[in-house]
Homo-oligomer: A and B are copies of this chain.
Amino acid sequence: VTRSAQKQEALAERLDQAGVTASANRLLVLEELAREPDDATAQELHKRLVDRGEAIGLATVYRALGTMSEAGVVDALPHGANETCYRLCSDKHHHHLVCERCHRVIELHGCPAEDWISRRARKEGFTVTGHRLEVTGLCPACRERE
């Protein structure tokens, strides 16, 4: 219990620092997201919480994810055409390597593009506010199965 209490504490602090009230429900969603090594949709997270016996509404999960992703606490990855996946990531700048079959996600730290981006953007007169590099591929397990 101590271990998970500590974890919850850390997540709550993360919300605080981002200026988001650490409500019980937001913590539930965040905790559930922390258990997921890859990414998950709002619907999936809601189902897991309900299956686990938590009484939380679907709309609340959507609102929590919306608030938290806006605050930068979770990442929103537009995956397929029609659904958004969420992920609890490290704070440091990083990118994603995603298996296109099983959705396994690996964080890639560092960034090879920063200089290039600022150079190109300056040339176009743009002010850069951010960037995202998504690499798709097949993870070892899925390549086997091919």
Residues of A within 8 A of B (CB): 76, 78-82, 84, 97, 99-100, 106, 108, 110, 112-113, 115-117, 120-121, 124-140, 143
Contacts and interface: CB of A to CB of B under 8 A. Distances in A.
Instruction: Tell me how many chains of this kind the complex includes.
Output: 2
A128 B70 CA distance: 30
Among all A-B residue pairs, the 3 with the closest Cβ atoms? A78-B78, A112-B116, A125-B140
B143 A127 contact: yes
B81 A79 contact: no
18 contacts: A78-B78, A78-B81, A82-B82, A97-B120, A97-B126, A106-B126, A112-B113, A112-B116, A112-B117, A120-B135, A121-B137, A125-B140, A126-B137, A127-B143, A129-B136, A130-B137, A132-B136, A133-B134
A122 to B, nearest CB: 10
Contacts of A143: 127
Nearest to A134: B132
Contacts of A136: 128-132
